[in-house]
Structure 1
Amino acid sequence: MRVATADLISRARAGDGEAFQELTEPYCRELQVHCYRMLGSFQDAEDALQDTLLAAWQGIGGFQGRASIRTWLYRIATTRCLNARRSASRRPAKEWNVPNVEPPEPTRLGEVVWLQPFPDALLEGAIGVPLGPEARYAQTESISLAFVTALQVLPPRQLAVLLLRDVLGFDANEVADMLDSSVESVKSALKRARAGLQRRQPPTPEREPAPAYDSPAEDALVAKFVRAWESADVDALVALLTDDVFMSMPPMPFEYQGPDVVARFCASIFAAGRRFDLAPTRANGQPAFGAYLRAPTGIRHGTGLIVLTLTGDRICAMTHFETSVLPSFGLPRSLPSR
């Protein structure tokens, strides 16, 4: 243990709050992302992070130094998230509530209706941290909406093991210690978790990678989407979609698969005379937009957040979240008239 860290621990044990903050601050962002992956909800992740820091402050006197501060904090955070997963009743699905719009029959009803997006602005300090040698997933992949959604149907303990081993790269002995378990139990849970995740992410046709962040290719595709959506041009929108495009809208359970049904859904929205302006942002490492409905008064009212998943020069998924997530992205509930 470095002298500076040992000094901070000693001061924190003596009740020095500033020392405790200096000790834990470097890990807060990555811990928040860990909680988000476990819970699938930005709001719940914020609550779990605060619970983690409170428990760490109350328990710093018992820190023995057998593991690093980072590992100790991950142990606390994982335990808090496991408790939250076991005790929480998941938020119920919402009924369709868009006035004067009759949507087409959904392809299916989704299981994970409590999902929320994670603002890219808060990923700084969380993506790019050094991972252990056991990590199997790129950090950008492990924050994507598709990955986080698939995680949510895993049993809690399997989820924890998979994240600690395959995403963060802790070794089996460390994970066993974090979960008060045996190495054999950890290995067994990991095997089941990998199989469960594979079932949730069945093989798909080989996709082209998404264009690089802020690249001309991404900018061009995003600009085409904005033009099509703001002008209510369904044909132009469909031209941007892959043959297996997927659309969902938590906390409503409706899910649509394929360009034809997605086109019918969008057409039902636009046919009701609803026109939108889009405010750009980013979520889960993906392009996103606050959607604002134009009103006769000129004021534009927020209707939610649209997150795009890109592949090559096409859009393979669109996820629409409710209006309550806008403040987390620094977006207002409404925009003034232009």
Structure 2
Amino acid sequence: MTSADTREQVGVGGLGGIDESAFAGLTARHRRELHVHCYRMLGSFEDAEDAVQETLLRAWRRRETFAGRSSLRAWLYRIATNACLDLLARYRPEPATGGEVRWLQPYPDRLLDELPAGDADEPESLAVARETIELAYLVAVQHLAPRPRAVLILRDVLGWPARDVAELLGDSVNSVNSALQRARAGMREHLPAERQDWTGGDGDAQTRELVRRFTDASVAKDVDGLAAMLRDDVRCAMPPTPGLYVGRDAVLHDWVEDGFADLGRLRAVPTAVNRQPAVAFYLWRESEDAYLPLTIDVLRIAGGAVAEIVIFHDDQFPLLGLPQRLPADGAQ
């Protein structure tokens, strides 16, 4: 467990005599990180919310079983992991296939900012926290079977010892280590080969400039300009719509066939999700005298070019805190 884990002790008396209000206060500080943990397990923001609700309900009902011998945080993570495994067994017993995850949803950076601050002296841990919330990682991990997925996240993301993971899952340490090896091999099959070259978000000037050019070309519906920014092996998906397009020609052909060049007037609002740059596009609707939500393009940049675009539908705008309409050009 981390040092933060070992410091947080509820006390010898545990939670047996605590009232509901006090219990809610104790668990509230862990809610965001539990939600992110469930999101990694499930790939869906909404499913993660359901899993957290179930976690806190189970924790309240089982509060007398917590005696304070371990941290409250670790105890909650155990319950949350089992809640996710139960949800997967009921609704998604089979992992994703074919490189796409149709249930994938974005995670707003503004909510990720609520996570406890990492240790500035441990840059490797900060890098892991960032990389394991990016969409390419989420897609790859959803291709693992549920139990190896849990092992990978608990061991490689949270840093749990193998014996603790084995206890949680009711397995032997050898079984956990074997599952971890298989999970790592599975991730290598689905993660981009150039992962070590990711820019890590939109913080550098080169990335910001590329996102600006991508935005301007999209608003202008400049297909040739967009083509110049895409890698030869660019990937594009639009969950939950089925279809994964790989390669510049395939992606551009899909856009043209989908009528991109014939869209009406567009406006764009920059945003950020999953620690990646993103652009929210709005389409002019004459009947509403306003620009209304269209899509959110989340970009992965590698080698100074767009390596992946995940496009989310307009139903995700409220989740990201984006406006539901923009005024006419020049209007206040």
Distance 2:269 2:54 in 1: 33
Measured after TM superposition, the shift of residue 201 of structure 1 is 2.8
SS of 1:264's equivalent in the other structure is: helix
Alignment match, 2:3 = none
1:170 matched to 2:160:
yes
1:224 matched to 2:213:
yes
1:201 matched to 2:191:
yes
Q: In the alignment, which of 24, 36, 44 is matched to residue 39 of structure 2?
A: 36
Deviations 1:131-182 (A, max 9, x none): 99x9797111101101101111211111000100011100011111222222
SS of 1:327's equivalent in the other structure is: coil
SS of 2:33's equivalent in the other structure is: helix
Distance 1:3 1:49 in 2: 20
Structure 1 residues without counterparts, runs of 5 or longer: 94-107
Change in CA separation of 1:256 and 1:2 when aligned onto 2, cut-off 3 Å: closer
Alignment match, 1:279 = 269
Distance 1:109 1:209 in 2: 23
Q: Percent identity?
A: 42
1:72 matched to 2:75:
yes
Q: In the alignment, which of 319, 326, 330 is matched to residue 321 of structure 2?
A: 330
Residues 127, 139 of structure 1: 8 Å contact kept: no
Residues 135, 169 of structure 1: 8 Å contact kept: no
Deviations 1:283-306 (A, max 9, x none): 110011222112234322212221
Distance 1:257 1:283 in 2: 22
1:320 matched to 2:311:
yes
Q: In the alignment, which of 174, 190, 201 is matched to residue 184 of structure 1?
A: 174
SS of 1:335's equivalent in the other structure is: coil
Distance 2:200 2:7 in 1: 42
Structure 2 residues without counterparts, runs of 5 or longer: 1-5
Distance 2:291 2:301 in 1: 27
Alignment match, 1:51 = 54
Alignment match, 1:13 = 16
Change in CA separation of 1:287 and 1:231 when aligned onto 2, cut-off 3 Å: same
Distance 2:296 2:78 in 1: 33
What is the identity, as a one-letter code, of the residue corresponding to 1:315?
V
What is the identity, as a one-letter code, of the residue corresponding to 1:328?
L
What is the identity, as a one-letter code, of the residue corresponding to 2:300?
T
How do residues 104-123 of structure 1 correspond to structure 2 at under 5 angstroms? 111-123=100-112
SS of 1:303's equivalent in the other structure is: strand
SS of 1:294's equivalent in the other structure is: strand
Alignment match, 2:241 = 252
Deviations 1:30-50 (A, max 9, x none): 111110010000010111111
Q: Which of 291-300 and 184-193 deviates more?
A: 291-300
Residues 225, 240 of structure 1: 8 Å contact kept: yes
Distance 2:202 2:220 in 1: 25
Alignment match, 1:310 = 301
Query: For the aligned residues, what is the CA RMSD?
Result: 2.9
Measured after TM superposition, the shift of residue 120 of structure 1 is 0.8
Measured after TM superposition, the shift of residue 124 of structure 1 is 2.0
Measured after TM superposition, the shift of residue 2 of structure 1 is 6.3
What is the identity, as a one-letter code, of the residue corresponding to 2:76?
L
Measured after TM superposition, the shift of residue 76 of structure 1 is 0.2
SS of 2:322's equivalent in the other structure is: coil
Residues 154, 193 of structure 1: 8 Å contact kept: yes
Q: Which of 64-73 and 31-40 deviates more?
A: 64-73
Deviations 1:241-268 (A, max 9, x none): 1121111111111111122222223334
What is the identity, as a one-letter code, of the residue corresponding to 1:330?
G
Residues 100, 237 of structure 2: 8 Å contact kept: no
1:23 matched to 2:14:
no
What is the identity, as a one-letter code, of the residue corresponding to 2:291?
R
SS of 2:64's equivalent in the other structure is: helix
Distance 1:198 1:136 in 2: 21
What is the identity, as a one-letter code, of the residue corresponding to 1:82?
L
SS of 1:164's equivalent in the other structure is: helix
What is the identity, as a one-letter code, of the residue corresponding to 2:69?
R
Q: Which of 226-235 and 291-300 deviates more?
A: 291-300
Deviations 1:12-60 (A, max 9, x none): 5324233223322222111111100100000101111111111112211
SS of 1:67's equivalent in the other structure is: coil
Change in CA separation of 1:136 and 1:218 when aligned onto 2, cut-off 3 Å: closer
SS of 1:229's equivalent in the other structure is: helix
Alignment match, 2:134 = 144
What is the identity, as a one-letter code, of the residue corresponding to 1:157?
R
Change in CA separation of 1:71 and 1:86 when aligned onto 2, cut-off 3 Å: same
Alignment match, 2:284 = 294
Alignment match, 1:102 = none
How do residues 148-159 of structure 1 correspond to structure 2 at under 5 angstroms? 148-159=138-149
Residues 292, 304 of structure 1: 8 Å contact kept: yes
Residues 38, 51 of structure 2: 8 Å contact kept: yes
